[in-house]
Structure 1
Amino acid sequence: MASSSDFGEKLLTDIDDKVLLCAICMERFKSPKILPCHHTFCEHCLTKWVKANNSQLICPTCKNQWPLPSGGVPAITSNRFLNDLLEVIGDVNPGRVNEAVCDGCKKEAKYWCGDCGGQFYCDACMKAHRAMRICQDHEPITMEEYNEKMSTQHFRMTKARFCPTHRTTKLEFYCDTCQVPICHKCIVVDHPPGSDHKMLSLESAMEKYMPEMKAHSQKIAQKVSDLKLRKDRAHDLRKDLDANKSTADQQINTLCQKLIDEIKQQQIKMQCQVDDIYISKCKQSDATIELLEHKIASAESMLSYLNHLLTFGGAVDIMSVQKQMKDQQQHYDDLTNVPCTDIDSDLVFRENSECLRIDLGVVKGKNLTKPGGWSKFILEGQGPSPGQKFKDPCGLTFHNDRLLVCDKNNNIVQILNQDYTCEKVLGSFSGQFAKPFKPQSVAVSKDNHYFILDDNNKQIIVCDQNNKVIRIITLPADVNPYCIALLKGFVLVTDVKGHRLLKYTVTGQYIAEVDGQVGGKKRFDSPRFVAVNSRDVIMVSDCHNHCIKCFDSDFNYLYQYGEYGHGDSQLYFPASIAVDGADNVYVCDGNDRISIWSRDGTWLFNLFTYSEQTLVHCSQPRQNLC
């Protein structure tokens, strides 16, 4: 079992290591100065620190900035508690506790006096100590009491503390009104009994305020515990962030490598095409060159013979071949009239101007405290055929991690995969309807049937993924449909000019309608988009009323949010709306931004604005995005 001296040695070591070390120089304090944030540092360390920070008093631990007194660092309040504790620790060290001998005669110690600066006394020396008038106020304790304090680690400063005003008088009282320890002289001078000052002994004050101080300490301890938990959580999130970054980098590298491989395949294919054309043209060109060389050799041989004949031959020789040359005139013409061939050097590579405009993907990171966080890497141009761009993209919806886009003026619905490449096209309905097919909005049922609003023909086409038409819901002539959504086996349709929301069965039977007018609330004014969240709450963007109106599945009014304006919780001609997995609502409006609202209609933040140019790059006008 550990002895009391072992406990004492451990306690003093802990005090020295945990209480008396300066956080700057990591040595025992010298003239400790305490800042308003209760952090303490050596005076000379703090002087150097302030000088290094352009004469600004910034706490090295918590980074809070405090006003520097006119007298500089020396004028900062001294930590009297640590000063006194340093003096006590300097006298009461582990070695001396183990010895436990009288400081006067070196006999076995029987008493210890903190008022003397931590001196040990034997019985005889203690009698002399008590006989001295100057020591009559001292409160020595026996070695048993001292060891008990040390062994139970309840060591407390017992050295006499003197009044800063009356330096030879001990602090024995506490002014509860002024909240300050005082001596008996202070009571007479600065805290007279007949005034409002209420006096307590220091022991009574401790009994009164110790529970409050302990409760305060517990609150701070709880805050420290909470902060440590948050720190651990932050470390975990940082690890997750590192892992997510690694995953994102790997996915990007994989995608880019895939694109590189495909490009290399295209490179090999085109180079093979070049080689085929080149070899074919080379064969024909080489055959022509060989024919010409043969004719040149024949012509040169005949020319040489004639030149010699004309130079050295006589009349008989020349005239002997004259008839032969006439007979072979056609042969001579064949030598000089070589027929033109179709061989040429035409071999050109023409770059597709759209070949680099591919949408690689989206990098996003949601940050609720700081709006922003989407970055779009654009290589534009999807479309149903290579190089074809969107033409007036309007209605959007997600289904099974696929993005469905109503490509209105291309007369199709594009289904884009996670790489944002066109995976499938719906809309091969040419010639089936009175007017061209113009998809305005799309929704997908649980049985994978596609409901496509064709506003040009005022109808809803229900088809499967193979473009097979299952049924057609014909809308009345007085309906001007704008958007559709599905709800529990029903189809919701906004009538933008009729200022109403209609409900049909999936087979096309009219059920009900609502005009948005409830009590003193305005009725719909050009309702545009409709969406349904996981709780079957219907949300309608009431465009010209500058709000989002919400109803239950039976068209009973619930609430609305937004009002005319350009502030954070205001809307300006809201149009497209969408709902995420947490039922948060995303609203595009005329403020050129997307605002995020909670499912109960509380504004959260603005994700981004179009002016930041981080959402999309599109050849169509901005308003077509909504």
Structure 2
Amino acid sequence: MMDSSTKVLKRSQSLGVEKMHISSRLQKVKQNMKRLDVTKPNKEGLKSTESSDVLEELLQCGVCLDRLTEPKMLPCQHTFCLSCLQLHLKAEAGRAMNKRHTPPTAQEIESAAQQCVEIKCPTCQYSCSIDKGIGGLDVLPRNLYIDSLLNLLPKPGTKDISSKCMSTPASANYRISTEIRCAKCQTLCKFDETRCQHCVQVFCKVCWTEHMSELKKNLISLVNQLSQTQSKLENKLDDFDQKCSNAEMKIKTAVESKINEIRKEEQQALARCGKCKESENKVAQILKGKIEDVKNDIQKLDFDNIESDIQKVVTFVNFHRATSALIDKVDKWGELNVPLEQTLHMNSLNMESELSGNASSPVLDDDIFCSEYKTRNFTAKLIWNKFPRPAGVAIAPWASHILYIATTDNKSILIMDRIKFKVIGKLTSENMACPYGVACSKTRGEIYVTDKWNHCIHVFSSTGDYINVLSSKGTSEGKLLSPEGIAVCPNNDLVVCDTGNDRAVILNPDDGHEVLSLGKIDKRTGLQAPTGVAIYKNQIIVADSGNNRVKLFSLDGQKLSEFGNKSQFQSIDAIATDPDGFILVGDAGSGRLKIFSPDGLLIRSVGGSQGSDKFSCISGIAVTPDLDIVTTDSRSRKLQIF
């Protein structure tokens, strides 16, 4: 922001210098014009080549640079050939359409030109309104003055000359007949030196002198115009100085406001850091106590007096395991989810800390260092390329090796055996248009598929039979609009992301009747375009894509907590949980798979635009009981199992 202030001040100084230069040039122009005497006509007369060059330049089209044909005059007074204006309008329409991914065809350009309502002058870029598209150019007025000159002169390249004009053999130029009427007194006169290059008119010698006097008077008018222009520049410069002063005040105010915000967030970040430090110190004291206990137990042990060798081996194994666990915990102690120096992003004047939510150390959790995900090698054991644009994915609760994958291109659900790496069947219906989310109910033995384009839910049996369809398009209670994510509650109710209606609803699986809407307060849910949903025990986890948040609800629809922000998520498309309650989020905007602890602490971020584990647009996530992670990617049309 300080750079912007410096640029404004430099611009103000440069305008002052420009003002001095322009004022000096205006004074010089005035002095030269006063010394100028244009009352004396040119004794040598106007040469025929010069007059013909002037006429040819006047009759030249500014587009094709040839002599005008069918001259049409735009409201800005510039004249062009009718055919040139038509080609210019088509070119403008083509350039506007060329911003698409594919170049337009000639027919598309012709159609677009027929619908144009304005044309820009090729010379001054003035926008002129036209009616009936390209056909409206025909009704533009003809330039009668140009028409009269075109009728007076022969066509270029013609050797025979009409009675109105004659040719000069030494050149390809033409000149007007030797007898012509004076533009002022209308008397016949010889075409000598009495043609004015400014107004392109012919005068007799008497009127020529008067015309020169008029031009001299016009010079005084030009001086007055320059004086007015100089005064206008002074006023504009004063106004610009005032704007610069106002801009400086606004910049200073904005910077002060940002500094105060940063100081406030600095205190908050320091407080979080202090809590984290206190928590880690407590964990360190616990580890010290455990280390001392194990050491004392080993030192007090009388190994030789143990009765049997088997008991000796068991005793050694137990002490070895306890020692290894303590060594592992000490090695990983103090490793925060995000380095402390990354909690502040000063370059964007934006505070962000991944140490959000519960400030206690993750060391105190059951999975003490989340080692399963932190140390995991995310190399895909299966990659299926050229997949028919997959969306949601679900694992069959009655057979964990079976995957159900929604394919929007094929309008079906593919059934895949992940152990054999083979497609063994598919679910489909003639009423299915765009299958998106998939969920399974073990107790009911049913598979539920959201249809984004038909705004409903298709129900299949575990044997592949089509049962029925739930809900229909609408915005009222029990209706859906472009649903995406779906999950099954412990009581077999369905949780559906009603994306088009900005809500997540719980539906009865028998008739699709709406049970409740999550987080609804005064007819508003606080959700914006939710895309994914997952269930863990008695919690409903919703991907609030429009707000870049992950929100947790109870089974009765009350919001429990939330985490995430715009800098952490760009566009959440999929969400899932593992058997231990860890939350896996597919951020399509950044092309990353992000893994969070149950209380919202970031454990690991996988993927990006490069590398073997890269993602383009994660559209579906599922986690098997043995912690295999299945992801689908709609943009790169790929399925991966990690």
Q: Which category of TM-score, normalised to the shorter sequence, fits these structures? A: 0.3 to 0.5
Q: Tell me the TM-score normalized by structure 2.
A: 0.37
Larger radius of gyration: 1
Q: Tell me the TM-score normalized by structure 1.
A: 0.38
Q: Which has the higher contact order (CA 8 A, sep 6+)?
A: 2
